[in-house]
Structure 1
Amino acid sequence: MDKSVSAGPSLRGVFGETIELDGGGIYRILAELSLGGNAYAVLQSDAMKKDGEIEVFRVTANAKGEPELETVEDDDEWESVAEAYDDLQFGGDERP
């Protein structure tokens, strides 16, 4: 399964290092990934950072080609993206 950096719409290219979600606060963009033909973003708020938590969103493009975020509802899909993110951070199977 492809775990490369996304070639789709770039959140960092549009928003920089942080993004403000409607009603959800400000999140740091930790990573943008492409997995199974879909683009994803791994985000983290300051509150989530304290607990070591992340949030995973699917990145799509609207009619204007601008990136939009969709909540990942499927647990298996969410876990696959979280594992791919961990692999990028910790070099594959070498996790602390």
Structure 2
Amino acid sequence: MPEFSASHVVWTSRVKDAFGTVVELEDEEGRVSDYSIESEFDVAGSSYAVLRAEGDRNAEPEIFKIISGENGALELVTIDDDDEWENVSELYDELTFPE
């Protein structure tokens, strides 16, 4: 398993640079929702974006993996691997709420 350590985080802004501070995401039922980009970072050779439902500061942030799709376009995908999600989630908590 790659190292998910705060000392290995590189802050990025690729999604924000490509789409602005708010992105539209479509769920499995075809509903579109707006999300604010909280932060983006690279760690352990992968890229992640932390999003929050637009207009709801009390909503839990959601973490997505950033991948390059067809023609190099950026895509946000759900993290399906439980271990990867847990590691990234814990790392984000550590970065957001340092002890």
TM-score (norm 1): 0.77
Is the contact between residue 31 and residue 85 of structure 1 (CA under 8 Å) also seen in structure 2? no
Question: Which of the residues 23, 29, 39 maps onto 2:37?
Answer: 29
Identity of aligned residues (%): 36
Matched position secondary structure for 1:49: coil
When structure 1 is superposed on structure 2, of 74-83 and 29-38 the one drifting more is 74-83
CA RMSD of aligned residues (A): 2.1
Is the contact between residue 40 and residue 58 of structure 1 (CA under 8 Å) also seen in structure 2? yes
- Which amino acid letter does the alignment assign opposite residue 12 of structure 1? K
How far is the alpha carbon of 1:32 from its aligned partner?
0.7
How far is the alpha carbon of 1:46 from its aligned partner?
3.9
- Aligned pair in 2 of structure 1 residues 48, 81: CA closer, same or farther (>3 Å)? farther
CA offsets 1:1-52 (integer angstroms, 9 cap, x no match):
322224xx8100111111000124001111111122111111110476324x
Question: Which of the residues 2, 19, 29 maps onto 2:23?
Answer: 19
Gaps of 5+ in 1: none
Structure 1 stretches of 4+ moved >4 Å:
none
- Which amino acid letter does the alignment assign opposite residue 35 of structure 1? V
Q: Who is 2:63 aligned against?
A: 56
Gaps of 5+ in 2: none
Question: Which of the residues 53, 58, 61 maps onto 1:45?
Answer: 53
Q: Who is 2:9 aligned against?
A: 3
The number of residues matched between the two structures is 89
Is the contact between residue 3 and residue 84 of structure 1 (CA under 8 Å) also seen in structure 2? no
TM-score (norm 2): 0.75
How far is the alpha carbon of 1:84 from its aligned partner?
2.0
Is the contact between residue 60 and residue 68 of structure 1 (CA under 8 Å) also seen in structure 2? yes
